[in-house]
Amino acid sequence: MRASQTMSQTMAVADALSPTHQLQRLFDDYWENLLQESPTYATFVGDPRYNDRLEDLSTEAIMRRRAQTREFLGRLDSIDASALPEGDRVSGAVLHFVLRTSVRGFDLLGEVPPELDPWEASPFLLSQMTGPQFELPLVMASTRFATAKDYDNYLKRLDAVPTYIEQLTQRLVTAIESGWVPPRITLRNLGSQFDAIADPNPARNPMAVPFRTYPRDFSDSTKASLTQAGHAMIRDRVAIAFAGLKNFVEERFIPATGDEIAASKLPGGMEYYATALQVNTSTAMSPQEIHDIGLSEVARIESALQSVQDQVGFQGSRDEFVQYLRSDAKFFCDSPQAILAAFRDIAKRIDAQLPALFRELPRLPYGIRAMLPEEGDNAEHYIPGAADGSRAGYFEANTNNLRRLARWQMANVLLHETVPGHHLQIARAQELVDLPMFRREIILNAYVEGWALYAEVLGDMVGMYENPLDKYGQLSAELFRAARLVVDTGIRALGWSRQQAIQYMRDHSTESEAMIASEIDRYIVLPGQATAYKIGQLRIQALYDKAKAALVEHFDLRAFHNALIDNGAMPLDVLDEVIGRWIVAQKSTQ
């Protein structure tokens, strides 16, 4: 027995020293640390262990997270990658990209007070697109409410809101002092975004939704007690905290902002923007390279749009054609219910075609629902489901504005956001049990958005754009993504004004005036994010062309698509390597 124990101990020590064991331990530690430090993210991915708390936004917590990131990178660099099996090498490369770009950001912005930490979440702590006015209602909507414990955790989370808002406000003060604030033009509607969550009336406050319906097995006394506690928490804690934040934003934050929109006016200047591009595209492309790709793609897609216009026989300019498509009532749904019905009809059509595109599909379903009224005129979007299957994914349609989206734009939007786009790719990744947890949940913009834009084009292969106007909608959306390459780099690196960017979009897109202005403001507060879509799509399309040319008659489209999505999100260079090895493996079986 003693000899057996000694042998086991020796093997355990040897295993502990093996690169594979070190790496797996690192993955587990990294994932657990991520969930502990970001409890709302844990809720979002379906782990309820931290549902009773919010993020710690203190300076001490931020410095702790920075130190942890450096420590994880050091541990990863110390592992001999050549001794790892292929799957582990890929996982290590993915994590290395995440950690390395974060540390590069810390070093680059050493002059920025740590309270700001633009690499922790969004570049700006608060904007018309980022902040607790969006994040906390989304966390609430992602929270499980099945037991009394779930409600008790939620009450504790609500109780933490004032401290969370106080910490955020202190960080905003530092942002004002350092100049790390978004341009004023983008904040014109910011104050009103707090109205709903600052409302003390639980009947109107979105954070009170869980106290309006309960599981069937709850007793009347339990429901009454929870309702009373929840309403008091909304009225006396949440609403007051957000009313104070709204007042701070309107009286101190917005007046402290300026008119400059160029990256060179932020701490870090052009180096910051170059890093933002690297983070979002996972490439080393320069702003000028991305700008030139955008110009080329815009010209190509505009030619294809003209061909569709000629096909339908419209006599007139493109502007006149777009005006016709945007002004005739027959191209729009006449009620919120009609919008949802139209999207659901498209979903049923594409669902039936998925076996022609993939060998294996995810099991997690998705639903289609209206977005909240508080979201106003936001774009349609996808909300991922939970990895444990306890929550389905959802496509949220804008039913607040009946003229926001025409019928000819609906097919490509649905394909992008659900299947074969975001839902299919994200749900598939969540079910890849052989991957470490961080890889099953990671979102890398160039891959995720590039895949979704590629997915729009797949509609051609399965007859989703047989109506020429539906094809016009798909090309219009692709044109918009190409124009983003031009205006994002123009604004941030080439000295363009906001009006110059708006004018370019007017001349080279089919979107409405209001949509264009909203999008330009989005690019201003999210530097580089909008470039991910087209750069990612072009790389995936190039891999498709490469695989098809290499395998010729042995090319299997369904197998190729699973090869693309069966490793979760990856930096584009890592994706190149994975598909390159897949092509070699396919050739060896011919």
pLDDT in tens, 350-383: 999 999 999 999 999 999 999 988 677 778 999 9
Nearest to 171 by CA among 64, 261, 61, 247: 61
3-class DSSP state of 397 = strand
Dihedrals phi, psi of 382, to nearest 5 degrees: -110, 135
Residue-wise pLDDT tens for the chain (590 aa)?
Answer: 444 455 455 445 545 679 999 999 999 999 999 999 999 999 999 999 999 999 999 989 988 999 999 999 999 999 999 999 999 999 999 999 999 998 888 887 666 666 666 555 467 889 888 899 999 999 999 999 999 999 999 999 999 999 999 999 999 998 888 888 889 999 988 999 999 999 999 999 999 999 999 999 999 999 999 999 999 999 999 999 999 999 999 999 999 999 888 766 777 778 888 888 999 999 999 999 999 999 999 999 999 999 999 999 999 999 999 999 999 999 999 999 999 999 999 999 999 999 999 999 999 999 999 998 867 777 899 999 988 888 899 999 999 999 989 999 999 999 999 999 999 999 999 999 999 999 999 999 999 999 999 999 999 999 999 999 999 999 999 999 999 999 999 998 898 999 999 999 999 999 888 889 988 998 988 889 999 999 999 999 999 999 999 999 999 999 999 999 999 999 999 999 999 999 999 998 87
Query: Which residues are within 8 A (CB) of 177 and not within 5 positions of it... i.e. 6 or more apart?
Result: 113
Nearest to 524 by CA among 546, 542, 505: 505
Q: Distance between CA 586 and CA 590 in Å, rounded?
A: 7
Alpha helices in 86-131 (DSSP H): 86-108
Is 50 within 8 Å of 39 (Cβ atoms)? yes
